[in-house]
């Protein structure tokens, strides 16, 4: 339902960013499927509200080092969704997202590694508009898996 609201009434949702900032902290406590849907619904706000974008990127980084696999999976999904949807217009932000995914791949448990590499491949398969430097890092990460 939140996804439908975010697509149909994005401007109205923009006015509720302070409440969404508070609520987004609870993402890591939700079941993974539910948290993923909420995260996907909130992603369109990233290019509209710089404060929300900074908050969400920081939250994803924190979840990436979470002791819970659910939080790490959600963070990997969030970074890859941001890249696939080209919601990070600045090359530096794109490169940071790729580096975060790369770090997740390096530190991931054997059970989480397939999820991380599938997300990396998904960004390439989506033909995301990513800056050349970030794309080179992305391809290098995938090549590391092959070696």
pLDDT digits (tens, 9 = 90+) for 93-107: 888 888 888 888 777
CB 138 within 8 A of CB 130: yes
Least confident span in 20-29, 79-88, 121-130: 20-29
Rounded percentage of the chain residues whose pLDDT exceeds 70: 82
| CB neighbour burial string for 68-81, b if at least 16 within 10 angstroms, e if fewer | eeebbbbbbbbbbb
- Total structural domains within the chain: 1
The residue range of the domain holding 17 is: 2-146
């Amino acid at each position: 339902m939140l996804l439908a609201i975010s697509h149909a009434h994005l401007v109205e949702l923009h006015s509720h960013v302070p409440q969404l900032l508070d609520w987004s902290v609870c993402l890591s406590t939700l079941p993974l499927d539910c948290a993923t849907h909420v995260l996907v619904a909130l992603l369109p706000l990233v290019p509209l509200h710089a404060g929300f974008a900074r908050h969400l990127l920081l939250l994803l980084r924190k979840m990436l080092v979470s002791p819970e696999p659910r939080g790490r999976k959600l963070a990997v999904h969030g970074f890859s969704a941001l890249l696939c949807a080209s919601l990070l217009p600045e090359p530096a932000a794109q490169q940071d997202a790729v580096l975060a995914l790369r770090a997740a791949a390096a530190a991931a448990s054997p059970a989480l590694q397939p999820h991380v590499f599938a997300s990396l491949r998904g960004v390439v398969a989506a033909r995301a508009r990513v800056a050349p430097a970030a794309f080179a890092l992305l391809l290098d990460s995938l090549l590391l898996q092959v070696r």
